[in-house]
Amino acid sequence: MAHCPRPIANYGVYSMQVNQNKISIKETKDEVIAIAVFQVPGGQPPSATPLKYPKEFEDLSQYVRKEEFEGKSGQVYVFNSITAFKFKVLLYGLGEEKDFNLDYLRRFGGTAVRYAASAKSASVSIVLPNVKNASEAAQSIAEGAILASYKPIKFKTKKDDYFEVKTANIISQENVSDAIKRASALATAQNYVRDINENPANIATPQMLAQSARDLSKQNGLACTVFEKDDLKKMKMNAILGVNQGSALPPVLVIMEYNKDKKDVPFYAVVGKGITFDSGGISIKPAKGMQEMKYDKTGAVTTLGIMRAVSELKLPIRLIGAFAATENMPSGTAQKPGDIITAYNGKTIEVLNTDAEGRLILADTLAYVAERKPQAIIDLATLTGAIIISLGRYRAGLFSNDDNLAKAIFEAGEATFERVWRMPLDKEYVEMDKGDFADIKNIGSEVGDAGSITAAAFLQEFVGECKWAHLDIAGVDMISEKHSYLEKGASGIGVRLVVNALERLAMK
């Protein structure tokens, strides 16, 4: 059993600098200034009112052609040269106010940074629009700006084509500096997750994830314990060891703790799935798209990001962050369909499909964490392709044995735009997991009926009496095409969601 601390690794740069600037808009020295504009109801061109334009730019309306810019949601209009201004102006449409959503401001912040990069401007000024809550608006803009600043180019040998915007200045006369600091902690943690997650399996081994936990713990003052393979054998973590049988690399179980010794604060746990590469094992996957299985460690890496954000925000809670990490590989020693194993909590499991491995490593991890009796456990896992069939790629699946916990997570999802949808856990689904030759089986149906639900029902067998929620993030862990503030690749979704949910739980 190895303990922290270890030497601090070089995390690299995951975050641009975001500042508040209280100067007059026209006093900015940045080469690019971005302004968000609401659409006038009825499809008319934006009016020259303080609500639609900042007062100092009311005369912009005379330059805007209705057919080119109406302020529709996501619409962009650029003034490259107007004699009255010394800088380029980007107008961004927010749509009609009745349809306004804070995520539009994340998209605004991201679009501003992307345009500044295309204009080769190292800094950009972003005008805080006249909306109801200035702090929420500033946080959203800053999050979008920081998230848009990350590009997965660390393995590119030629980086000259990628211009780095180093600073975003949010112009506001109201004090929003605390909101910007909060956004920086959250979005930087999300970029940190994305950066680790982009490492392929030959780099992001179980040992590399363990070292990332050690480094983060040293830097942020967390307690950290890494259980190695011999420890897991002594602890009878047979579900983790079974998945690991086919791999040449040993598994690890990582336990991180924030505010470990505090007894007078709410106590929670976050658990992540850490399959560093998933071939499917003996039940091998098709070759097409298998390279994306480097993202099967997303739950574990997101747990690292949550621990980073919670510790930097200094939330008044106690938190365990736990994950098991291993490859799932085919070999002469690999776990076989039909094998029966005994998990850490004593339940026996029929392994009918070795590609349903994530629930096995989560089983031992959840059972171990449940013994600590946290007030709630939230797990994150790229668990099933079935959840993508159910919800597509816009919401994660939420399963829970507690209504209040589920409500907090759902509300957090709406607030952060890392949205979830609650799925059922009726007893009929639990029955589908009953084993013929052991207590339970690791797939509920050979034909895949209710695959995401029976997977969640399987996990529920290992949480004891704890309040528990499972987030199946298989549909949102990566994106195939970039949008306003996320590039193609790892999304880092889950960090802002879970941190927000933990805050809501603690307030209750």
Contact 302, 193 (CB under 8 A): yes
Spatial neighbors of 441 by CB under 8 A, at least 6 apart, are 349, 350, 351, 352, 433, 434, 435
**What amino acid occupies position 362?**
L
The distance from CA 410 to its chain's CA centroid, rounded to whole angstroms, is 15
283-289 LR contacts (CB < 8 Å, sep 24+): 283/337, 283/353, 283/354, 283/355, 284/330, 284/355, 285/355
- Unique residue bearing structure tokens 């590399």: 208
Active site includes 154?
no
Catalytic residue among 106, 107, 318, 359: 359
How many residues are there in the chain? 508
**What amino acid occupies position 112?**
A
Spatial neighbors of 34 by CB under 8 A, at least 6 apart, are 89, 90, 92, 108, 111, 112, 115, 124, 125, 126, 127
**What amino acid occupies position 102?**
L
Q: How far apart are CA 447 and CA 452, in angstroms?
A: 13
Pairing relationship of beta strands 348-351 and 376-381 according to DSSP bridges: unpaired
Q: How far apart are CA 366 and CA 359, in angstroms?
A: 10
Q: What φ, ψ does residue 19 adopt, rounded to 5°?
A: -125, 160
DSSP letters, 219-288, are HHT-EEEEE-HHHHHHHT-HHHHHHHTT-SSPPEEEEEEESTT--SS-EEEEEEEEEEEE--TTSPPPST
Q: What φ, ψ does residue 475 adopt, rounded to 5°?
A: -90, -15
Active site includes 359?
yes
Beta strand segments in 129-192, E: 167-171
The distance from CA 256 to its chain's CA centroid, rounded to whole angstroms, is 18
**What amino acid occupies position 284?**
I
- Side-chain half-sphere of 121: how many Cα atoms within 13 Å? 23
Catalytic residue among 151, 285, 393, 504: 285
Catalytic positions, please?
285, 359
